[in-house]
Amino acid sequence: MPKMELKIFIVLFCALFTGGHALQCYECLGLNGSCVSKMTTCPDTDECASVTMIQNNGGTEVTIQYKGCRGMKSCISGSVNLGAISSVTSTQCCNTDLCNSKDAPVYSSKTPNGKQCYYCDDATSCLNKLNCSGEDDHCITAIATNGSLSVTVKGCASKSLCDAAPVFQVPQMHLKISCCQGSLCNGAKSVTQNLLFLLWPLFFYILIH
């Protein structure tokens, strides 16, 4: 086989086993209902994702739907309860064209699991005790720093969210997340910042990145 034909054969052979084309996914972002999707090409990611997040803020519930391109490292499901705000996120990932058409179903339980964790109110204290429920059997501490401002939040979290903590990033913030097992293992500490400053950017970037 001539050298030029051999090179073409090798290129075609490699293309056959690497998909041969960029992945196409549905893409959208919507509140309180299915989002209206459009098609997008994902040259730099290996999966499509469908994400549903239910956020409860002081008794007001918001459902967020997201579809788009996502790498395997950020295909995350989990839940967290920070006292004032709780969130349950379900993510389904797939690796064929337009495979993320369906909304990801969310399953959550409010049945107490016997664990307690410290949480911070929006005043000055992280001495409050929170009864954990469902899969939230770990205690979490998240510290976000933006310049001279530092914000601490604490609460209950699922193991899956804790395991995924190293991939969480919030632009223009240094975010440190730590988890532990055992009731009240996340320590009590006073704070002086309003925790709501952190929550929306944190949940939003966890959801779509």
Q: In tens digits, what is the pLDDT along the chain, a chain of 209 residues?
A: 455 544 444 444 343 444 446 899 999 999 887 788 899 999 877 899 999 999 998 889 999 999 999 865 678 899 999 998 999 999 999 999 999 999 999 988 889 999 999 998 865 688 899 999 999 999 999 888 888 888 888 999 999 999 887 766 666 677 888 999 999 999 865 444 444 444 444 554 444 45
State both tokens at 97: 């064209």
Give, in words, the CATH class of 112-208.
Answer: mainly beta
Would you list the DSSP string of 165-180?
A: GGG---TTSEEEEEEE
The closest alpha carbon to 146, from 172, 122, 168, belongs to 172
Residue with tokens 């939003």: 204
The closest alpha carbon to 156, from 191, 180, 123, belongs to 180
Query: What residue segments make up the domains of the chain, in order of their start?
Result: 112-208
Is residue 58 within 8 Å of 95, Cβ to Cβ? no
Specify the pLDDT at position 19: 46
Would you list the DSSP string of 89-118?
A: EEEEEE-STT---SPPP-----SEEEEEEE
Cα Rg, the chain, nearest whole Å: 21
pTM of the model as a whole? 0.78
Q: How many CB atoms lie within 10 A of CB 158?
A: 24
State both tokens at 102: 């369906």
Beta bridge partners of 36: none
